[in-house]
């Protein structure tokens, strides 16, 4: 779309801005009027492009800002909340952890390898921009139905793209989730999270300070890729999604690795005043954000921007989303020493401008001023909407036993294990380097991944979670649940949960029901994160995940970070010894609506999701945490999708130890007990010696528990129902991916 | 004992190698690829990673780095050289070891722990392992599929120059226990003088019981017996 105008783009001021051009830039007529009133004249094409880049949904958060303000963002440990390149939390001693999750959904659908790769690249830059060395990445990826013609190619491309970037960069990819649902058929989700470690006194921010300080461009050259990428991600797809390929950036993880090392080398002394990566909307947003945060002006000479191609125009230079670039403001006088570092790493280094007191963004090209815009018009005065929304209607459908009690337990379990959502995912993880850096002490496949803080006793526990079907059925409860799920996963690894980052994936916010999903999900997230003292420190919003008016299920993805003070207290999900007791912590009432059992076996997607009782969540979780720190438990696993029986199966398979289960006398039937997805529950393994101690502790704590059996040799036995060998369970569980890709790895 | 880790643009296991060497009491220095000479050293380590982005061909551009001249001299004088993963690929490109590494048979990156049999322990790198011991180490590579012509393979077998072979937990060599399609299940090879070892698995990543094993430790301990 852009190229078309560039053909006639000779003199910026001579080109008439027509309604069609405004529309092609995704700017509404009333927004255009606002631009004119803010700058007191009509913008030229370059300026219009800049407004389009800054005012699109992706960069301006114009539909979401009003609600994002309600998220709890503070706690004793939060050093930096939302608003910077990434969030920062105190990690004891002189350490801090920097982390953020971000979406790269639209580009990944158009070009899965590069879309996913640059998603990883972008989030890594957000983290090392702040001075942190990345120590782990995670991801949450969602695809359409397994039968959908695009799914296989997209899955394959996204996984190799994530691996291709992270592996080369040299950061371990330690965890994540892979899910399938027809709502993602035409809009896949690729959410990437990066986590870095930094010294508390060496955190770098993006706020510019000081007049006449040099503005430096470092990294890769600017090319014609990714032009208007952020605008593309701020609209629905139509039939021509494929034609949008030129808006997808191309990643070069090798250059990113060089950029990391060069930046960290420069950050050792105090040359940098501020630093910002060029992500969405490239040079435009980085320069605008840095200057406007510092309440300064900025002048850039576009002739000095290193370009990959000849005769690049200001419009292209300002709107390119070429990867692996950074913008720095240096202390004047430090240019030469900084330049040497970037030269050593074979990276471009160019002084492209300076900070001014004009409070305007001024761009010069060929000795001509080509743009002059008040920064406030681009950043603070960007439109904000209070969009109309409607409450989601919650199904009040009740479970009717006669509809599901005919489904056999073993047969249902098999089918659930063989479903791609629950299938063992080593086909995916094995394409990610999980052990580079030598500190990964718990890899994918448990409740949380754990990375040791290098050279220390403490570890960072990490998880990424989403539960779109719960959120679709009840956005408020779903929003709460997904925060609790992340909290629970951290607890179950022995960690103290600290904070979260969120990636909010939704359809078109201009539609009332979609906006309603968003508003209620945020409310749910807020309630849970406030109650659990688990604040949101960073994140992003991805709207317009919609094709031909069909939206994805609302999918908030939560990335959680926790601390394990002593990694020797880390715990895993695998059963450790035979003849130990298996406890269920938390009450099982047998909620089946929206469960895997209902979705996969019964084929019923109606009804409300399980409710989260935040009081029980916290109380059960803290009880489990206490038991872990007292070293009274051998293994812990939270009970989530698939219920108790799926959790048990996973503990058995991972530990290569079986279990003999006798269901307590209950009012609920077997399907409800084993497949129910009631929240706030854990399975724990306790040896004979500690059984009394644990029981007494739980009773004293008023924590509900049941003992459901013992670990034993090589099979899973459910009293009076079946017994099945673990090797068979493993076969079912590992079947799907290998079969789908016709591999036997 | 003194060691030197060469750092290429794109190396990403250089720090891991240095940490392992320090742990096993090497006095280690890091040398940038563009230096012209090595410091006084007993051991040179070419680390894993994606030197020069693995563009062109893995290890190819790195093998033309300035420092490599001195590494070759060091090796020819009998100095120890260890190439891990990308370092192994570089060694093959320099010609210090023979054969080549193709893309993995299934054309995918593979990151997992594998079993290896120590098929030669009469060398400076493996003397602390028992012969035919089965050990577990991680692999993480895209191009680890060892290939060589019949003559080279015959030479490797007859002269006992294969240090490690991929196997299963029982020590069997078969297709299932071969993660990447390497001929003869080869995971690591030596030169005739046995002062150079190139291997795809990462011993430096498994030197700590909390990392699920310590089978990499014996390799670093072995080196101290070098005279």
Reduced 3-state DSSP string for B128-141? CCCCCCEEEEEEEE
* Cα–Cα nearest to A195, from A392, A18, A450, A544: A450
For residue A377, give both structure tokens: 């018009």
* Cα–Cα nearest to A281, from A59, A432, A492, A473: A59
Chain A CB contacts of B110 below 8 Å: 430-431
How many other β-carbons are positioned within 10 Å of the β-carbon of residue B126? 25
pTM of the model: 0.95
Beta carbons of A431 and B109 less than 8 Å apart: yes
Assess A167–B contact: CB distance below 8 Å, yes or no.
yes
What was the pLDDT predicted at A10?
43
Nearest CA distance, A255 vs chain B (angstrom): 8
- Kindly give, in sequence order, each residue whose CB lies less than 8 Å from that of residue A528, ignoring residues fewer than 6 positions away: A479, A480, A481, A483, A484, A487, A534, A612, A614, A617
pLDDT band for A13, please (50, 70, 90 cuts): low
Interval A59-75: pLDDT, tens? 889 999 999 999 999 99
Residues 335-394 of chain A with CB under 8 A from chain B are 344-346
Q: Is the pLDDT of residue A334 over 70?
A: yes
Assess A520–B contact: CB distance below 8 Å, yes or no.
no
Beta carbons of A436 and B13 less than 8 Å apart: yes
B141 is catalytic: no
What was the pLDDT predicted at A4?
42
Distances (CA, A) of B12 to A452, A709, B37, B46: 18, 47, 22, 11
pLDDT band for A231, please (50, 70, 90 cuts): low
Distances (CA, A) of A370 to A23, A187, A460, A537, A599: 22, 38, 48, 38, 58
Assess A15–B contact: CB distance below 8 Å, yes or no.
no
What was the pLDDT predicted at A230?
62
Interval A714-739: pLDDT, tens? 999 998 899 999 999 999 999 999 89
Beta carbons of A437 and B16 less than 8 Å apart: yes
Q: Is the pLDDT of residue A7 over 50?
A: no
Beta carbons of A440 and B10 less than 8 Å apart: no
ipTM of the shown complex: 0.95
Assess B204–A contact: CB distance below 8 Å, yes or no.
yes
Known catalytic residues of A are 58, 104
What ranges in A79-145 are assigned the alpha helix state H?
105-110, 112-128
Which is catalytic among the residues B85, B126, B143, B167? B85
If you measure CA to CA, which chain B residue comes closest to A173? B111
Which uninterrupted H or E stretch holds B6? Answer: strand B2-7
Chain A CB contacts of B209 below 8 Å: none
Q: What is the mean pLDDT of residues A497-501?
A: 98
Q: Is the pLDDT of residue A249 over 90?
A: no
Phi then psi for A337, rounded to 5 degrees?
-65, -35
Chain A CB contacts of B140 below 8 Å: 167, 433-436
What was the pLDDT predicted at A6?
45
| Sign of the torsion angle spanned by Cα atoms A602, A607, A613, A614 | positive
Best of B16, B19, B108 to mutate (most A CBs within 10 Å, chain A): B108
Task: Give pLDDT tens digits along chain B (227 positions).
Answer: 999 999 999 999 999 999 999 999 999 999 999 999 999 999 999 999 999 999 999 999 999 999 999 999 999 999 999 999 999 999 999 999 999 999 999 999 999 999 999 999 999 999 999 999 999 999 999 999 999 999 999 999 999 999 999 999 999 999 899 999 999 999 999 999 999 999 999 999 999 988 878 999 999 999 988 65
Closest partner CB to B140 (pick from A167, A454, A745): A167
Interval A116-156: pLDDT, tens? 999 999 999 999 999 999 999 999 999 999 999 999 999 99
Q: Is the pLDDT of residue A221 over 50?
A: yes
Beta carbons of A257 and B52 less than 8 Å apart: no
Mean pLDDT of chain A: 93
- Kindly give, in sequence order, each residue whose CB lies less than 8 Å from that of residue A570, ignoring residues fewer than 6 positions away: A441, A442, A450, A459, A461, A493, A494, A495, A564
Beta carbons of B13 and A170 less than 8 Å apart: yes
Closest partner CB to B140 (pick from A169, A435, A743): A435
What was the pLDDT predicted at A150?
96
Chain B CB contacts of A567 below 8 Å: 210
Q: Is the pLDDT of residue A2 over 50?
A: no
If you measure CA to CA, which chain B residue comes closest to A168? B50
What was the pLDDT predicted at A209?
93
d(CA B217, CA A739): 38
- In this structure, are strands B80-84 and B196-199 parallel, antiparallel, or unpaired? parallel
- List, in sequence order, every residue forming a beta bridge with B80; answer none if it has no partner: B43
Chain A CB contacts of B106 below 8 Å: 743, 745
Closest partner CB to B12 (pick from A170, A430, A441): A170
Assess A738–B contact: CB distance below 8 Å, yes or no.
no
d(CA A62, CA B2): 59
Only one residue has tokens 């950061």, namely: A171
If you measure CA to CA, which chain B residue comes closest to A252? B53
Q: What is the mean pLDDT of residues A572-593?
A: 97
Assess A168–B contact: CB distance below 8 Å, yes or no.
yes
Chain B CB contacts of A254 below 8 Å: 9-10, 50, 52-55
Q: What is the mean pLDDT of residues A559-575?
A: 97
Chain B CB contacts of A574 below 8 Å: none
Only one residue has tokens 């800049």, namely: A50
Q: Measured in whole angstroms, how far is the alpha carbon of residue A213 from the centre of its chain?
A: 35
* Cα–Cα nearest to A490, from A568, A557, A571: A571
Task: For chains A and B, count residue pairs whose Cβ atoms are closer than 8 Å.
Answer: 90
Assess B174–A contact: CB distance below 8 Å, yes or no.
no
Chain A CB contacts of B205 below 8 Å: 435-436, 438
Interval A636-667: pLDDT, tens? 999 999 999 999 999 999 999 999 999 887 67
> B13, B204 in Cβ contact below 8 A?
yes
Q: Measured in whole angstroms, how far is the alpha carbon of residue A441 from the centre of its chain?
A: 22
Residues 399-458 of chain A with CB under 8 A from chain B are 426, 429-441, 452, 454
d(CA A322, CA A175): 27
Beta carbons of A435 and B53 less than 8 Å apart: no
Q: Is the pLDDT of residue A229 over 70?
A: no
CA dihedral A675→A676→A678→A683, nearest 10 degrees, is: -30
DSSP A345-396: TT-EEEEEEEEESS-EEEEEETTEEEEEEEHHHHTTTS--------PPPPP-
- Kindly give, in sequence order, each residue whose CB lies less than 8 Å from that of residue B183, ignoring residues fewer than 6 positions away: B146, B147, B148, B153
* DSSP code, position A601: I
Chain A CB contacts of B210 below 8 Å: 441, 452, 567-568
d(CA B66, CA B37): 8
Closest partner CB to A170 (pick from B32, B49, B202): B49
Only one residue has tokens 């070419």, namely: B46
């Amino acid at each position: 779309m852009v190229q078309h105008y560039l053909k006639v783009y000779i003199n910026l001021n001579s080109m008439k801005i027509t309604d069609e051009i405004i529309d092609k830039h995704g700017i509404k007529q009333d927004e255009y009027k606002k631009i004119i009133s803010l700058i007191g004249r009509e913008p030229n094409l370059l300026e219009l492009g800049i407004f389009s880049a800054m005012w699109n949904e992706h960069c301006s958060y114009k539909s979401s800002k009003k609600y994002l303000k309600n998220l709890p963002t503070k706690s004793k440990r939060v050093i930096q909340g939302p608003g910077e390149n990434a969030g920062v939390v105190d990690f004891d001693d002189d350490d801090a952890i920097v982390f953020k999750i971000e979406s790269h959904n639209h580009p990944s659908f158009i070009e899965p390898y590069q879309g996913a790769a640059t998603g990883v690249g972008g989030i890594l830059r957000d983290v090392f921009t702040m001075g942190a060395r990345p120590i782990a990445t995670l991801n949450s990826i969602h695809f359409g139905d397994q039968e959908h013609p695009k799914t296989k190619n997209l899955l394959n491309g996204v996984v190799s793209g994530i691996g291709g970037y992270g592996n080369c960069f040299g950061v371990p990819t330690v965890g994540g989730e892979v899910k399938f649902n027809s709502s993602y058929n035409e809009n896949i989700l690729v959410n990437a999270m990066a986590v870095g470690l930094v010294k508390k006194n060496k955190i770098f921010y993006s706020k510019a300070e000081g007049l006449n300080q040099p503005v430096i461009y470092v990294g890769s050259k600017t090319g014609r890729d990714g032009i208007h990428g952020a605008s593309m991600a701020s609209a629905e797809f139509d039939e021509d999604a494929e034609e949008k390929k030129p808006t997808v950036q191309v990643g070069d993880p090798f250059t990113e690795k060089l950029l990391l090392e060069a930046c960290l080398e420069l950050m050792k002394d105090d040359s940098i005043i501020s630093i910002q990566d060029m992500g969405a909307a490239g040079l435009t947003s980085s320069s605008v954000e840095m200057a406007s945060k510092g309440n300064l002006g900025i002048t850039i000479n576009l002739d000095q921007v290193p370009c990959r191609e000849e005769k690049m125009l200001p419009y292209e230079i300002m709107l390119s989303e070429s990867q692996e670039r950074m913008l720095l403001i240096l202390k004047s006088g430090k240019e030469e020493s900084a330049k040497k570092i970037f030269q050593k790493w074979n990276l471009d280094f160019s002084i492209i401008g300076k900070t001014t007191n004009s409070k305007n963004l001024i761009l010069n090209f060929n000795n001509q001023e080509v743009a002059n815009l008040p920064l406030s018009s681009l950043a603070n005065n960007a439109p904000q909407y209070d969009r109309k929304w409607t409450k989601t209607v919650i199904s009040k459908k009740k479970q009717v036993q006669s509809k599901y009690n005919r489904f056999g337990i073993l047969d249902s379990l098999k089918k659930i294990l063989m479903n791609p959502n629950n299938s063992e995912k080593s086909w995916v993880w094995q394409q990610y380097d999980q052990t580079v850096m030598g500190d990964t002490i718990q890899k994918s496949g448990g409740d949380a991944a754990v990375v040791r803080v290098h050279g220390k006793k403490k570890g960072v526990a990490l998880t990424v979670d989403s539960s779109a079907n719960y959120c679709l059925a009840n956005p408020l409860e779903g929003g709460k649940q997904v925060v609790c799920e992340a909290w629970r996963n951290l607890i179950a690894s022995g960690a103290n949960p600290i904070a979260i980052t969120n990636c909010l994936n939704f359809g078109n916010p201009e539609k009332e029901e979609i906006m309603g999903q968003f508003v209620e999900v945020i409310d749910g997230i807020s309630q849970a994160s406030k109650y659990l003292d688990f604040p949101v420190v960073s994140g992003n919003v991805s709207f317009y995940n919609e094709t031909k008016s069909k939206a994805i299920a609302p999918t908030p993805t939560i990335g959680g970070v926790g601390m394990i003070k002593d990694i020797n207290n880390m715990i895993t999900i695998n059963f450790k010894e035979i003849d130990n007791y298996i406890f269920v912590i938390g009450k099982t009432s047998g909620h089946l609506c929206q469960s895997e059992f209902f979705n996969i076996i019964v084929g019923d997607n109606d009804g409300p999701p399980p409710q989260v009782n935040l009081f029980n969540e916290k109380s059960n979780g803290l009880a489990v945490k206490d038991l872990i720190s007292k070293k009274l438990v051998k293994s812990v696993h939270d009970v989530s999708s698939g219920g108790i029986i799926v959790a048990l199966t996973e503990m058995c398979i991972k530990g290569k130890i079986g279990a003999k289960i006798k269901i307590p006398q209950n009012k609920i039937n077997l399907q409800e007990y084993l497949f129910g997805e009631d929240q706030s529950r854990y399975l724990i393994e306790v040896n004979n010696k500690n059984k009394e101690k644990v029981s007494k502790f739980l009773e004293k704590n008023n924590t509900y528990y049941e003992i459901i059996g013992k670990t034993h040799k090589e099979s899973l036995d459910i009293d009076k129902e079946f017994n099945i060998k673990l090797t068979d369970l493993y076969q079912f569980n590992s079947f799907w991916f290998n079969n789908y890709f016709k591999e036997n790895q | 004992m003194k060691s030197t880790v060469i750092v290429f643009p794109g190396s990403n296991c250089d720090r891991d190698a240095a940490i392992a060497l320090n742990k096993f009491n090497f006095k280690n220095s890091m040398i940038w690829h563009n230096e012209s000479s090595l410091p006084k050293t007993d051991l040179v380590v070419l680390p894993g990673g994606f030197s020069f982005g693995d563009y062109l061909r893995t290890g190819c551009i790195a093998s033309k780095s300035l420092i490599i001249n001195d590494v070759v001299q060091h090796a020819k004088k009998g100095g120890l050289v260890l190439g891990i993963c990308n370092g192994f690929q570089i060694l093959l490109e320099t010609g210090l070891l023979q054969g080549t590494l193709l893309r993995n048979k299934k054309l995918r990156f593979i990151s997992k722990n594998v079993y290896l049999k120590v098929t030669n322990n009469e060398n400076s790198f493996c003397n602390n392992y028992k012969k035919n011991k089965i050990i577990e180490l991680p692999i993480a590579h895209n191009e680890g599929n060892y290939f060589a012509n019949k003559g080279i393979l015959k030479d490797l077998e007859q002269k006992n120059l294969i240090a490690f072979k991929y196997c299963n937990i029982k020590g069997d060599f078969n297709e299932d226990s071969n993660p990447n399609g390497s001929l003869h299940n080869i995971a690591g090879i030596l030169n005739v003088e046995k002062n150079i070892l190139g291997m795809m698995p990462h011993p430096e990543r498994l030197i700590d019981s909390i990392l699920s094993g310590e089978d990499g430790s014996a390799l670093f301990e072995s080196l101290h017996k070098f005279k």
